[in-house]
Structure 1
Amino acid sequence: WGKIGADKYLIDQVRARMDFPTTIRAVKSLTDKHPDAFAKIVEEKANGAALIATLKNEISGLIPVNPQTSKEMRIMAVSPEIESGNVYLPDPASCSWVSEFIDEVVQFPKAKHDDCADCMSMALLRFQTSRVGRLTDDYLTPSRTFAGGLDFELEW
């Protein structure tokens, strides 16, 4: 995730169920792919603390987060940003996973999986309290095509 002004952009995603070694490789790969991503928030639950401990001397910017509210409360806290059109996703024509991301978020909290919705809420909440994640205007080049702002309402 990154932001320019009030607009937030989902830059990339890995969508998979992974064991610990595969997760380590995925974090390293995304770090190499996006070297300007200085902050990487990691939920401390499950393998998060172990991931940070394993990579802290190799990858900088791993920030532990421990959400204090439910997933539903976090989504409710960021829903105005989504509904106002300030959250952008990559164009589904260039990123095949975007359609699944949207399906999961729209179906939250009744979706089979909620990892995408949960990660989105943590990233958007982080932007509300931190200056971390700012993109430069030149980041939005023709090679990085984003669809319009998310255009749906969350229904409970």
Structure 2
Amino acid sequence: MTRRSRRIAIIAVSGAVLALALGLALYGMRGTIVFFRTPTQVIQEPQVGQRIRLGGLVETGSIRRGPDQTVTFAVTDGASRVTVHYRGLLPDLFREGQGVVTEGAVEASGSFRAATVLARHDENYMPREVADALKAQGHWKDGKVPAAAAAGPADGR
């Protein structure tokens, strides 16, 4: 075996080992990858049972508190709304008209069962994905959310 062919063999084996390691790492992380969706995307493609993050604004007047720390509220992106059911303590900064990201799964009924609720941490913060989705809908201007967007969709969904 010549020196050149030995080098090529070492490079090929190293490449195969790196590809195998990358494949195993991605396979191991597949259960922890969570995709972000807006209410419009959830309504258009309801992936029932799949763990996702739902982000948008808490619709004004939609928060309903029940027994045993259960809360029901609506998340809107200005065009659509999704009802969210959550059991647990909400963040201190959770309120109507503010940005929120919930992690959980869509139920067969079309509502969203949240396992985690995340709220903004100061008055100027909005998760990038939520801000981008609101900008695309025309409901985000200069870091401020218009009151109409926080109130919910115009068609009453």
Q: TM-score, normalised by structure 2?
A: 0.24
Question: Which is strand-richer, 1 or 2?
Answer: 2
Is the radius of gyration larger for structure 1 or structure 2?
2
Q: TM-score, normalised by structure 1?
A: 0.24
